[in-house]
Structure 1
């Protein structure tokens, strides 16, 4: 900054200083806990109770994790997740509300103004900061409030168990990545609409339309936890184009039917559902990170962070005109993993 410009800035600052008077800090108002030892004791007890709620929530989450296990049905999965979520919620809520109440009722609430200074503090400033922190600890009377201190330390020490126990218990579980190479699509499996499971005929799919597809299954199968998990890997987006717009290799010419093509809905970037179709360009967009795939050209990537085309589901029709799968997807669905070359 030139000397002239600096002079103008300084003049402007001086002018503002003359026009606006520094109001200073408002008069400090003491809280009930500052004036009444009984009120301070009540606040301490309330904070301890909140930390105790957190401790109970942590213990409950561990008990729930082992006692309420999913049994393969949607209802059991929902109940297990609900119980675990509520118990962890109480554990977090107890710590959070205790910290807020402690700060508002027991810690020093005197307003302090620090003048701006260079980023690098002087040794004197650092010593002063340590002294202020030490004084703050004294103001909070942590040493004398043994019950509060004990419940706080216990709550903070136990809470990581809500994450560590489920994580550790999963070690040694199912690490078979081969399951990612295949889905429940098999030769002859009918394509049905998602979510009602209605079989779909080729004649039902109009030009330019998009249909969300899942494999055909019985009512009993659709209610099982295993099928719900497998369905998540097998979801398909079906699109009907004008056959002359398709750019198909010789290998893939038999994978479509009269302009109808089927691709995995799971983005090859990080696995988000790809479902935004632009009819005029035949582009399919992933809403998470804007990866864009060309449905007319083998669902190849035309934009975005995805590196691989969407896997294609080879389809045809049966004797009744219903769309069926010729086989599973041409390659593993979803993002890359450590045993995949690409």
Structure 2
């Protein structure tokens, strides 16, 4: 094989060879030449871009108004068609509200705000001079946006941003009842029979075998004509039967179960998802939303997941006909653990 060492250059300005004391540094190529945009050179183009941004902010405001029209103006009549129509306009309204602001700001930055590149050394800001320099930088940024010189953009942006959060407030307010008596009061009361969900037939203790699980509602739910879904959401219960020796009730709760039959609220104490998974071998209840896990043998104590409060227990017994009934309502609010609760 030939020796190719003779083919290499004697010296190189790019590669540093072993033994060299210093490595030649590349020169800073600097910033590329700044290219002016059409709006930078043509006042008419700048004015046109300004109007386009204002139109986008106006579209955002219209989208917010469309959301409120759908939310308050379209009355639901228990038909799927009306529900779909409202959902469609709700989605379009909030979509245009967010899209208008986002697109408007992006177009504003690309077409009208200064786009020249700068290179600055980063250093700690400790002196008063540095603080004043930082304030000046902020002032320069505000000046460069042109918001002081472009009242049309400024006013439409303020209007769009003032309206945009309102749909979120309306949606969050309508998620459910506020904490307090609304979540403390359910249909469960002394003597209320436990009934199967969804057919509403009462359950006898003799029909509940060890290892079985029932989705339970109050029997009186069948007679409601208004607010049935809301009441069911608060009163839904899971009922299981274990070997009585596996239960470890705390003081004062020794008689809340009947022959190993226990009943607990079905509403997860994290964010209110339905706890619907029962692991028969481990006696664990699992919330499928965020995997909060409750130990059924220890009064549904939280053993895993984000929930911080056990599931409320419904005290139960049997009536003279052998049907399972509630001894009382829940002794604590059901549902998510709001910060107001201890």
Provide the TM-score with structure 1 as the length reference: 0.68
Paired residue secondary structure (2:160): helix
**Offset at residue 82 of structure 1 (A):** 5.9
Q: Contact 2:187–2:231 at 8 Å: present in 1 too?
A: yes
Q: 2:11 maps to which residue?
A: none
Q: Contact 1:191–1:325 at 8 Å: present in 2 too?
A: no
Structure 2 residue runs of 5 or longer lacking an equivalent are 1-20
Deviation per residue, 1:100-155 (Å, 9 max, x gap): 2211221111122221201436515633x444444444544444433223322332
Q: 2:329 maps to which residue?
A: 329
Q: 1:31 maps to which residue?
A: 37
Any residues of structure 2 matched to 1:44-55 within 5 Å, and which?
44-55=50-61
Q: Contact 1:51–1:155 at 8 Å: present in 2 too?
A: yes
1:91 to 85, 93, 97: 97
Q: 1:306 maps to which residue?
A: 308
Paired residue secondary structure (1:284): strand
Relative to structure 1, the CA distance from residue 16 to residue 150 in structure 2 (aligned partners, 3 Å threshold; closer, same or farther) is: farther
Any residues of structure 2 matched to 1:127-146 within 5 Å, and which?
127=133, 129-146=134-151
Larger radius of gyration: 2
Paired residue secondary structure (2:308): coil
Q: 2:159 maps to which residue?
A: 154
Deviation per residue, 1:248-306 (Å, 9 max, x gap): 57975665455332211234466454445444432335567776533123334567763
Q: Distance in 2 between matches of 1:205 and 1:24?
A: 81
Structure number with higher helix proportion: 1
Relative to structure 1, the CA distance from residue 138 to residue 296 in structure 2 (aligned partners, 3 Å threshold; closer, same or farther) is: closer
Q: 2:229 maps to which residue?
A: 228
Paired residue secondary structure (1:45): helix
**Offset at residue 52 of structure 1 (A):** 0.8
Deviation per residue, 1:303-330 (Å, 9 max, x gap): 77635563225254896x8x64335534
Q: 1:184 maps to which residue?
A: 187
Provide the TM-score with structure 2 as the length reference: 0.68
Relative to structure 1, the CA distance from residue 331 to residue 130 in structure 2 (aligned partners, 3 Å threshold; closer, same or farther) is: closer
Any residues of structure 2 matched to 1:1-342 within 5 Å, and which?
24-68=30-74, 83-84=89-90, 86-120=92-126, 123-124=129-130, 126-127=132-133, 129-159=134-164, 162=167, 177-186=180-189, 187-193=191-197, 196-197=198-199, 199=201, 207-215=210-218, 226-248=227-249, 255-268=256-269, 271-285=272-286, 292-301=293-302, 306-307=308-309, 310-314=312-316, 316=318, 324-334=324-334
**Offset at residue 34 of structure 1 (A):** 3.1
**Offset at residue 49 of structure 1 (A):** 0.5
Structure 1 residue runs of 5 or longer lacking an equivalent are 1-14
Q: Distance in 1 between matches of 2:207 and 2:38?
A: 73
